[in-house]
Chains A and B, each alone.
Chain A
């Protein structure tokens, strides 16, 4: 694809970097380290002894039991691993400790570089409610709603917010701690669930409320800034294909964003960034309504799952730049003046069942055939025959395509999905294959309700596909070893059947 802006370097920014994460993102960061000449240190829990990221890294350090709280979320365990391995920097990836200000502060106090924004920035933006207030002060539009925590719904007039409304965790992200309420009588029960989920996911049960903007698109602006004041907007990503308020598909540029809307969103993103001391990578998320008005949602001060979409259209290696920025390098003119080119789409391959409300599934991956060829990128955290630990996120891989324009990107994605085979467990691959033929997705005129409005509980297989499947099942049976001999219980079943038949006569 494009020229790698990190290529041709002589002095690595760091000698050794520890990756405080697992799965596909750990592998992505290991790849960046390799290209920069940095030795990578993986960490792993007892559930990940044989994990791919452990095999891929130059070094690997055990940090604790399978439970995330005792391993990937344990600040002492990760700092200890960093000290023992002599790492000069820590990249937190996304999720886990990536937006934890206490962690970032502890890393810096240990004399280790934190690959991310300053700890104080994480703290102020991590509180979504405080960020809302900062946005209002900076003149950036926000979704109408409360600017203070929702404590006792009985004492608050929610009529001003309006229904339907969304309850959101102040410490939230990733769709957790979020609940839709359609009327005042639903608030108390939903608040309870949202709090419980928020406490469990973030250790903080503060919840606030804002009006539901629907139909809407979810569009985010990618920021990259160095420690010397340079800040660049690396285009936007449209993340409107969602289930449970979590993203499944992302694309750049957004089919809904005109040059005027883009200019307004970039201006808002820069204003939000200016409210804090900012460097490294961050994403400013907005809702975009039908009239093209945007509303600030939150600023995520970390690498996003979907960063690859931006890398494809800009040619900027964001992970490498995160590391270089952490080492104090300046963004080059080639990055600051970048003009995105082409169209990129990412689909997330999850172990989940789209025909059962996208419920996560556990188990082991069997067959694993990923697509290849022009304009295709796969960031995977598993290979064939990988057992999935139930403790962690069920993201298996991200499949990305780049082409000259949107129709070509969709055609390429359709081709890539047809090359993909995943066995052993149910995945969302079939949903993505359906999506690329879905008229509202193909036209670009879709919003966050696409799954609810058009997928529902999923299409039933057609009769000719079933007949083909039937032929395959027969073929499989007759070409594989015969089943083991009938058990004794089966014989008694024959006996019972015979007795019943006898009584009937």
Chain B
């Protein structure tokens, strides 16, 4: 086990020692950790190297990888990272109720770009950085699913 590295929510965390792990309900990620007479029930969902551990009610992504897997994944990311155009995708499904910018508009970081109504709430989508709107992929009245392209920022 010592060859596995754990990164929780972006930070490297050494596992605490001496715990015995057992699934209570593996299909739903319910597990029990025990050490001496201490017991803790918690949620660990996922597969392979990518897990989500619920800590005090908060879901935290946990990567469990060997050194080789981590190096590979980082190389993969590095090869794709460039300062090119940025796609802005819907972070939640809903209805587009307002589009505040048009193609070609110069926007400042934090500026409201459009509004998606979901779960009866108005959610503003803001520019993650300054730039020019390369294209607007949605229109008012359109229903969007999670992950769909909304705008492209140059």
Contact = CB atoms under 8 A, between A and B. Distances in A.
B57 A427 contact: yes
Contact of A367 (B30, B64, B121): B30
A433 B117 CA distance: 29
Interface stretch (B8-16, B103-111, B125-133): B8-16
Contacts of B21: 471-472, 474-476, 478-479
A423 B60 contact: no
B81 interface: no
Nearest to B46: A476
Interface in A165-180: 174, 176
A434 B121 CA distance: 25
Contacts of B146: 362
A461 B10 CA distance: 13
A307 interface: no
A394 B145 CA distance: 16
B60 A461 contact: yes
Interface in A449-502: 458-459, 461, 463-484, 486, 489-490, 493-494, 496-497, 500
Interface in B91-108: 92-94, 97-98
Contacts of A429: 57
Contact of A359 (B56, B76, B123): B123
A197 B115 CA distance: 11
Interface string A421-441: 101111111111110000000
B16 A390 contact: no
Max count, chain A CB within 10 A of own CB: residue among B57, B59, B98: B57
A470 B121 contact: no
A471 B120 contact: no
Contacts of A500: 75
Which of A366, A384, A482 is the most central at the interface, judged by chain B CB atoms within 10 Å of its CB? A366
A390 B16 CA distance: 39
Given A427-B57, A474-B64, A467 B28 contact: no
B122 A197 contact: yes
Nearest to A368: B28
Contacts of B121: 176, 244, 360
Nearest to B122: A197
Interface size class of B (residues with CB under 8 A): 35 or more
Q: Helix, strand, loop or mixed for chain B's interface?
A: strand
A494 B48 contact: no
B41 A497 contact: no
Give the one of B72, B120, B146 with max A CB within 10 A: B120
Contacts of A359: 92, 123
Contacts of B88: none
A393 B120 contact: yes
Contacts of A486: 72
Interface string B59-72: 11010100000011
Contacts of B123: 359
B32 to A, nearest CB: 9
A489 B44 CA distance: 28
Contacts of B33: 468, 471-472, 475
13 contacts: A200-B122, A201-B120, A362-B119, A393-B120, A471-B21, A472-B44, A472-B53, A475-B33, A476-B21, A476-B31, A476-B64, A479-B23, A481-B47
Interface of A: 174, 176, 193, 196-197, 200-201, 244, 355, 359-362, 366-369, 384-385, 390, 392-394, 421, 423-434, 458-459, 461, 463-484, 486, 489-490, 493-494, 496-497, 500
Interface of B: 1, 4, 6, 8, 11, 13-17, 19-23, 25-26, 28-31, 33, 40-49, 51, 53-60, 62, 64, 71-72, 75-76, 79, 92-94, 97-98, 115, 117-123, 146
Given A476-B44, A477-B48, A480-B47, 10 more contacts: A392-B119, A468-B42, A469-B13, A470-B8, A471-B16, A472-B21, A472-B33, A474-B64, A478-B1, A493-B72
A-B pairs, top 6 by smallest CB distance, nearest first, are A430-B57, A475-B21, A483-B48, A367-B28, A467-B16, A360-B119
